[in-house]
Amino acid sequence: MLITLEKDKTAVKSIEDEIKKKANITGLRTRVLEDSARNTIHIRGMDALCEKAEVLEALEKLIPGVGAHLQMGEMRPFRNNTQAITININSTYLNKILAAEEIRIGCTICTIEKKYTVNKCRKCWRSGHLERDCKGEDLKERCFKCGELDHKAKDCTNNEKCPLCKEEGHRAGSGRCRDFRRHLSQLRRQESIGKSAIRRQKSSQGPSQFISEN
């Protein structure tokens, strides 16, 4: 028997107990089918003394019940003596959290940002597409660390050098790579345009009208 309801583990347990009691069933098993589509967000700017429990409390205040639908990473140091945390969350709740843009945790206003996934080609090492769609140069035989042809990355003793940027100090497709940053900026810009369109649409609808009957 399949019963469909909101992903509420407390409700599932209540229904399980009721079925057992009414139908005198033993060995009944239930499980909550979670939304498999998960997204990652970063929350940044918590003070140096902030703990995970405070982050969860703030998220629950923003969206009651969301705690059962997310997985929290560990607190980590961020710039200016602040902290950050990475959270995996069901797609159902993603937009609700992102819509807030900021969240108060303790006495600090912290930023919420979605982690963007940039496609990376294993053939040409450029961002923005996958190998099956690649029309670029095949760099598979080159060292991924320095870009040279006569060895592999595991044996490399050279400094890091990106063959895409022609610059030392980073590998192809890393966070310092201009090609990667360009595609990441495009994704952020597209999402920003989408958010702006939604805000304009809501604004054009105007405030809700309430008619009082006396």
Beta bridge partners, 103, equal 110
Answer yes or no: do 184 and 127 share one domain: yes
Given 52, 82, 114, the domain boundary residue is 114
Residue 9 lies in a domain: yes
**Residue 26, domain extent:** 1-33
In terms of domains, do 108 and 184 share one? no
In this predicted structure, what is the pLDDT of residue 27? 60
Provide the domain count of the chain: 3
20 shares its domain with 46: no
* Domain-located, residue 169: yes
Q: Would you write out the chain's pLDDT as a tens digit for each of its 214 residues?
A: 544 444 555 665 666 676 666 656 556 565 555 555 578 999 999 999 999 999 999 999 999 999 888 999 999 999 999 999 999 998 888 888 888 889 999 999 999 988 888 899 999 999 999 999 999 999 999 999 999 999 999 999 999 999 999 999 999 999 899 999 999 898 888 877 766 666 676 677 665 443 444 4
Number of other CB atoms surrounding residue 74 within 10 Å: 8
142 plus 107 within the same structural domain: no
Burial of 6 (0-12, 13-18, 19+ CB in 10 A): exposed
**Are both 42 and 27 inside the same structural domain?**
no
Environment class of residue 72 by beta-carbon count within 10 Å: exposed (0-12), middle (13-18) or buried (19+)?
middle
Q: Residues 89, 129: one domain?
A: no
**Over the range 129-145, which residues count as b (16 or more CB within 10 Å of their CB) and which as e?**
beeeeeeeeebeebbbb
Kindly report each contact of residues 164-171 with a partner whose C-beta sits within 8 Å and lies 24 or more positions away, as own/partner: 164/125, 164/126, 171/144, 171/145
Do the domain assignments include residue 214?
A: no
pLDDT for 8 equals 54
pTM of the predicted model over 0.75:
no
